[in-house]
Chains A and B, each alone.
Chain A
Amino acid sequence: MTTMTDPPKESFQLSMLLNDTRYRSLTFQAIAAILLALSIWYLGNNLIQNLRAAGLNISYEFLGNPSGYDINQTLVEYDSQSTHARAALVGILNTLLVAFLACVTATVFGVIAGVLRLSKNWLVAKLMAVYVEIFRNIPVLIWIVIIFTIMIAVLPGPREFRGADPDASMFLGVAAFTNRGVYIPQPYFIRGFGGVADLLLVIAFLAGSFFAVRAVNARATRIQEATGERPQTLWTNLAIWFGPLIVLFLALGLTFDVPALKGFNFAGGIKIGGPLIALWFALSIYTGAFIAENVRAGIQAVSKGQTEAASALGLRPGRVMNLVVLPQALRVIIPPLISQYLNITKNSSLAIAVGYADITATLGGITLNQTGRAIECILLLMLFYLTASLLISAFMNVYNASIKLKER
């Protein structure tokens, strides 16, 4: 008695594009896509026509011409005879520098503030809450300008370090805090082999120590697992870290070039420019407030049972946080952290407010203005920020994947 008939095979009709729910969304998406493409085409066409009407054309030749302007912070060789492309490179490096520095310090600020905000100490918790709310709710541009203005007004100018009885003096005789920047001693080797070679040597020594320390720790773990008692490794490790390095420094003749007042400014040493400091600090402290909230959310997402179980095992509160809670919280913290890093990179384009020569200030500012190639410069800027953002998120996603809960 099984007379199951197949449902009548219905043929496709045009009206089904609208009436049939299976096709309707596809139809609308196709229409939207066509409209979008048309409007992009219209805009592009409009742009090209208007440019032609105004007698302008798109050309990147200007990148090869001498820029004609100087830049105050250059990580690579550059002067006013260098090309616009080189000026853009200087800007890119400056952007990456401040973004990197700010990401590191913002993370440090954020983790500290986020953890402390959950502290049982009422005062500490409230202080952190105030920090988060104040910094998160005032635009970062304002912070940049405030910090820079305070720096200019409060710190002494180099002029005030001059004379027999100066108004200002150097910190411990080796570092100068001025309203143009901070000058610190620069280490160098008298018997060195030249910049890069020395650097590689130091890195090689550090890497050697790193692996040696890893071996020592692995051995300690093995002993711990076998006997239940972990041998003391602190002193050995410290010796491994510092011993070889000190020997190397002595061999190469480590010396410091201490900044000294010369003419209008301090000369010698390393200069960390005022604009860099203001931008770096403002970005870190602002983004740090956001990261603090991510960290707090991450910690609170770890179930209380974990903390209680860890305490029941006899772990001290600090260890509970470091060994049990934070590693699990990281899974919740990392994804929003990625977008904070992207924000830092993009917000660093506010640099021009304090005269920091980032890519927006060089390529998107002076070059654009002096050559009048607005569209070309803006397109390049977009390309740069897009690439930088995508690279950062790709990198962080790899990291995220590596700490994800691994089901075994």
Chain B
Amino acid sequence: MKKSVFFGAATVAALAAGAAAAGTLDDVKARGKLNCGVTTGLVGFAAPDANGEWKGFDVAVCRAVAAAVLDDPNAVEFVPTTGKTRFTALASGEIDMLARNTTWTFSRDVDLKFEFTGINYYDGQGFMVPKDLGVSSAKELDGATVCIQTGTTTELNLADFFRANNISYEPVPIETNAEAQQQYLAGACDVYTTDASGLAATRATFEDPSAHVVLPEIVSKEPLGPLVRHGDNEWGDLVRWTLNALITAEELGVTSANLAEMAASAGGNPEINRLLGTEGNLGEMLGLPADWAVKALAVGGNYGEIFEANIGEATPIGLARGLNAQWTDGGLLYSPPFR
């Protein structure tokens, strides 16, 4: 008995000691694998496909980082996390980065001590109801039973929205999207609320998506992005600029089709040259080879290509670019320059 207590304690101590080490980049290189936290399954953002291979918009960020660091987009260990477990997983060092529809908020950044490395999707919270309820506005939801994922910003926004509109509701807290979907479809709740992108992705998997409507109200700002732990700025920079590389590549017209050609030798646009490493030494500053961005871009193309392939209008999820268009097209995507 005493023995097992002691060994248990020793294990905990060893784990705790491991988590405190700072050099995440070195750890990842030594391990040869990137541990990336994703959702437990939200088609379009992160979910295993029929072959068990993780696919999706958030997954693409993980793969791009893995390609930049390890030159292998498949050198990723995807760790499914729920709304509740994700922050513990990141803080404890179980994962190196988190790409899980996670909203950048003040308290997560400052109080929970995480570092958001950018925004890969500008979102807002919406409501989905069965069409036959005949509801056309979220303000008509007085007395409704609402399914929410627990441990999310959704939970807090919901309380605020109903309070501000002086109407009541009954929350049904749920751990994962899959369970929420099951309860919503069985009629155990009238409304499902989460990020509008998540609603679209969830609805796309329904047998009859047209029987459900997403209400017009968007009740919050949900800037979603990848995040890392506070305190390891080199690693934070690396994740941040990998995401920026994807965004900049779209802005500059670097696509999977012309990537190889453009990366072969320096061309006429100096920023493209710096991005692809044919000029300057940006890669070296990150502690990576000069063609790190080329490797990241080779996985799934630039931001626009990743968007269209996973959640764009041609997919069942059918999201329009909207706020997520480049700033040159009237959207909010605006990467700082590569210089």
Chain A residues close to B by CB (< 8 Å): 32, 35-36, 39-40, 42-43, 46-47, 49-50, 53-56, 68-72, 79-81, 149, 152-153, 156-160, 179-180, 262-265, 267, 274, 352-353, 355, 357, 361, 365-366, 368-372, 374
Residues of B within 8 A of A371 (CB): 111
Q: If the complex has contacts A55-B113, A264-B143, A357-B173, are A152 and B159 also in contact, measured as CB distance less than 8 A?
A: no
- Are B172 and A72 in contact, with the CB atoms below 8 A? yes
Report the separation of the CA atoms of residues A366 and B20 in the bound assembly, to the nearest whole angstrom: 26
- Are A39 and B186 in contact, with the CB atoms below 8 A? no
- Per-position contact with A for B1-42: 1 when CB-CB < 8 Å, else 0? 010011001101100110110000000000000000000000
Q: How many pairs, one residue from A and one from B, have CB atoms within 8 Å of each other in the complex?
A: 136
- Are A69 and B159 in contact, with the CB atoms below 8 A? yes
Residues of B within 8 A of A55 (CB): 113, 230-231
Q: If the complex has contacts A55-B230, A179-B187, A265-B144, are A50 and B113 also in contact, measured as CB distance less than 8 A?
A: no
- Are B16 and A267 in contact, with the CB atoms below 8 A? no
- Are B173 and A180 in contact, with the CB atoms below 8 A? no
What are the 9 tightest A-B residue pairs by CB atom distance, in nearest-first order? A157-B187, A80-B159, A369-B151, A372-B112, A263-B143, A264-B144, A152-B186, A68-B156, A50-B20
Closest Cβ–Cβ distance, residue B177 to chain A (whole Å): 14
- Are B156 and A152 in contact, with the CB atoms below 8 A? no
Q: If the complex has contacts A53-B20, A265-B170, are A369 and B150 also in contact, measured as CB distance less than 8 A?
A: yes
Contact of B17 among A40, A50, A365 (CB under 8 A): A50
- Can you name 17 extra interface pairs (CB under 8 A) apart from A50-B19, A80-B156, A157-B186? A40-B9, A43-B12, A54-B230, A55-B231, A70-B159, A70-B169, A80-B159, A81-B163, A153-B186, A156-B187, A157-B187, A179-B186, A179-B188, A264-B133, A264-B190, A355-B174, A372-B108
Contact of A46 among B13, B107, B144, B169 (CB under 8 A): B13
Closest Cβ–Cβ distance, residue B211 to chain A (whole Å): 13
Residues of B within 8 A of A160 (CB): 187
Q: If the complex has contacts A157-B188, A264-B143, are A365 and B156 also in contact, measured as CB distance less than 8 A?
A: no
Residues of A within 8 A of B172 (CB): 72, 355
Report the separation of the CA atoms of residues A157 and B91 in the bound assembly, to the nearest whole angstrom: 41
Closest Cβ–Cβ distance, residue B145 to chain A (whole Å): 6
- Are A366 and B173 in contact, with the CB atoms below 8 A? yes
Residue of B nearest to A372 (CB): B112
Residues of B within 8 A of A152 (CB): 182-183, 186, 188
- Per-position contact with A for B218-232: 1 when CB-CB < 8 Å, else 0? 000000000001110
Residues of B within 8 A of A69 (CB): 155-156, 159, 171
Residues of A within 8 A of B163 (CB): 79-81
Residues of B within 8 A of A372 (CB): 87, 91, 107-108, 111-113
- The size of the chain B interface, using a CB distance under 8 A, is 53
- Are A366 and B151 in contact, with the CB atoms below 8 A? yes
Residues of B within 8 A of A368 (CB): 84
Would you mind naming 21 contact pairs between A and B with Cβ atoms under 8 Å apart?
A39-B6, A46-B16, A50-B16, A50-B19, A53-B20, A68-B159, A69-B155, A70-B162, A70-B169, A72-B173, A149-B182, A152-B188, A158-B187, A180-B188, A264-B133, A264-B145, A274-B188, A355-B150, A369-B87, A370-B151, A370-B156
Contact of B151 among A53, A267, A365 (CB under 8 A): A365
Q: Is residue B313 contacting chain A, with contact meaning CB distance below 8 A?
A: no
Closest Cβ–Cβ distance, residue A106 to chain B (whole Å): 26
- Per-position contact with A for B62-98: 1 when CB-CB < 8 Å, else 0? 0000000000000000000001100110010000000
Residue of A nearest to B180 (CB): A355
Contact of A54 among B162, B187, B231 (CB under 8 A): B231
- Are B143 and A267 in contact, with the CB atoms below 8 A? yes
Report the separation of the CA atoms of residues A363 and B211 in the bound assembly, to the nearest whole angstrom: 37
Closest Cβ–Cβ distance, residue B21 to chain A (whole Å): 10
Q: If the complex has contacts A54-B20, A180-B188, A262-B143, are A36 and B6 also in contact, measured as CB distance less than 8 A?
A: yes
Report the separation of the CA atoms of residues A265 and B107 in the bound assembly, to the nearest whole angstrom: 35
| 8 A Cβ contacts from B187-209 to A | 187-190
- Are B13 and A352 in contact, with the CB atoms below 8 A? no
Q: Is residue B160 contacting chain A, with contact meaning CB distance below 8 A?
A: yes
Q: Is residue B175 contacting chain A, with contact meaning CB distance below 8 A?
A: yes
- Are A56 and B20 in contact, with the CB atoms below 8 A? no
Q: Is residue B142 contacting chain A, with contact meaning CB distance below 8 A?
A: yes
Closest Cβ–Cβ distance, residue B127 to chain A (whole Å): 13
- Are B10 and A39 in contact, with the CB atoms below 8 A? yes
Residue of B nearest to A157 (CB): B187
